[in-house]
Chains A and B, each alone.
Chain A
Amino acid sequence: MSAFTSGSLTARNLHLSFGSNHVLRGIDLQVEKGTTASVIGPSGSGKSTLLRVMNRLIEPDQGDILLDGRSVLKDNPDELRQRIGMVFQQFNLFPHKTVVENVSLALRKLRKLPKEQARAEALEQLDLVGLKHRADARPGNLSGGQQQRVAIARALAMKPEVMFFDEATSALDPELVKGVLALMADLAKGGMTMVVVTHEMGFSRNVSDTVTFMDGGVVVESGAPEQLFTAPSTERLKSFLSDVL
């Protein structure tokens, strides 16, 4: 897998409330350039919301977000999101467009590449995820695992500096999970900066450089995977791990 022009990502003291529901209560997260941070925790702990706040799909109430050491809160949010790729639990491919059009749409309309060049680059990305041969199919005719790999290609096509994965394998049939996880591990090895919200403890433990355990809108514990998985220092992480492992 080719090398990426990735950058570091920092979240500082992020707060977010929906009405009286205080979803994020001061989150700090540091992801060094070229490393993978996985975020684990029970559902409702604010993991997915954290991703959406860090690419400003939801604006934080308080705190700061830094990309490559520079605050991005004053930037145009649309331009910020072009620098951060995101992969969703439900794939969210555009069903009215073919596979290759899904990947080339942003290249054509945002990068303003001519149609032929955008298609060529999209085909290249599809080749990297092993789906060039399905370029002209509709997403609906692909398996879930294939759809998720297309979604990854769609995000990678914009040459992002950071990739977010929001429970990317949770909606997949068990036998399809492996292929997507292997692709994500390849990206991590290739030097992509990644934030991976996941329930796959094996991936979190074996692939990521740091693990962050969230519960109730706060970071309860974070550090190297070996440390968290073998010697959790809080009761909350201990009981979470005993539930999921």
Chain B
Amino acid sequence: MDFSQFLNTFFNWEAMAEVIPSLLTVGLPNTLILAVSSAIIGSVAGMLLAVMGVSRTGPLRWIARVYTDIFRGLPAAVVILIISIGLGPVVRELTGSSNPFPLGIMALSLMAAAYIGEIFRSGIQSVEKGQLEASRALGFGYNASMRLVVVPQGIRRVLPALVNQFIALIKDSSLVYFIGVLASQREIFRVGNDATANSGNLSPLIAAAILYLVLTIPLTHFVNFIDHRLRTGRPEKRQPDDAAAVVGKGAQA
């Protein structure tokens, strides 16, 4: 394969330009709807699982454990297919709607909840025992102590891991195409994939890949930023010498 053939296969600008409007007007909104709604539902359910996971009541801990083991241990594609094939007809019967999004969001949320639940749980459990003790000593009950003192601190500590999970959701939302969607319901991957299948050229898929990166790379850097901020606190005012001096900096680099 010579170089122009390579360029044509991966970077055919015309094929890309052709697919970009539908990537932005169809794929992008659908991907965001899937990722954002399952991130929200997954976070709420994950918080519930985390609180159950550290509960003083044995059966609650057990339920959270079993749920997490199951949904963390299954491939996303398997869950999405089982949910859509299993529940699709039921939902259609009950609501008369064949919109695949609710089931797609449900499948993504069920899995996200398992991962996010573990993230929150590790955060909650990393809060020093003395915090709960001090809150109880003031006269707060267990539930109020968790809500006001322990959980807020736990969440702060795991924000970076949480954003990583949101990135994973953006990528996993591409699997919803398994369910079978209308042209207007395709997310980024499916739009790119269809165009590639029609033209026999990979460039539309490359365009889709670039769009994913445009969404995810800023998020990864946002993670690093908040991680750094949480470690070091708000940036102190830098002394002019710190900003300018080259003396001694070489040794650190």
Contacts and interface: CB of A to CB of B under 8 A. Distances in A.
Nearest to B132: A92
Given A105-B148, A109-B148, A94 B136 contact: no
Contacts of B138: 81-82, 105-106, 110, 154-155, 158
A82 B136 contact: no
Interface in B204-251: 233
Contact of A57 (B137, B144, B149, B233): B137
B120 to A, nearest CB: 15
B219 to A, nearest CB: 24
Interface string B119-151: 000000000101101111111110010001100
A55 to B, nearest CB: 6
B140 A57 contact: no
A106 B140 contact: yes
A78 B137 CA distance: 8
B152 A96 contact: yes
A81 B131 contact: no
A92 B141 contact: no
A175 interface: no
B137 to A, nearest CB: 4
Given A105-B148, A109-B148, A92 B131 contact: yes
A142 B149 CA distance: 19
Say whether chain A's binding surface is mostly helix, strand, loop, or mixed: mixed
B133 A110 contact: no
Interface in B23-50: none
B134 A92 contact: yes
A68 to B, nearest CB: 17
Residue of A57, A92, A95 with most partner-chain B CB within 10 A? A92
Contacts of B185: none
Contacts of B135: 94
Contacts of A79: 139
A1 to B, nearest CB: 21
A107 to B, nearest CB: 10
B156 interface: yes
Contact of A95 (B133, B140, B153): B153
A88 interface: yes
A207 interface: no
A88 B139 contact: no
Given A88-B134, A90-B130, A106 B149 contact: no
A110 B152 contact: no
A86 interface: yes
A92 B139 contact: no
Nearest to B134: A92
Contacts of A57: 133, 136-137
Contacts of B134: 86, 88, 92-94, 151
Interface in A48-63: 55, 57
Given A105-B148, A109-B148, A92 B140 contact: no
Contacts of A85: 137
A78 B153 contact: no
Contacts of A155: 137-138
Interface string A147-159: 0000100110010
Given A81-B139, A155-B138, A109 B144 contact: yes
Contact of A88 (B133, B144, B148, B153): B133
A24 B12 CA distance: 80
B153 A96 contact: yes
B107 to A, nearest CB: 34
Interface of B: 128, 130-131, 133-141, 144, 148-149, 152-153, 156, 233
23 contacts: A57-B133, A78-B136, A81-B137, A81-B138, A85-B137, A86-B134, A88-B133, A88-B134, A90-B128, A90-B130, A92-B134, A93-B134, A94-B134, A94-B153, A105-B138, A106-B140, A109-B140, A109-B144, A140-B233, A151-B134, A154-B138, A155-B137, A155-B138
Given A95-B153, A96-B153, A155-B138, 15 more contacts: A57-B137, A81-B136, A81-B137, A82-B139, A88-B130, A88-B137, A94-B134, A105-B148, A106-B139, A106-B140, A109-B144, A109-B148, A110-B138, A151-B134, A158-B138
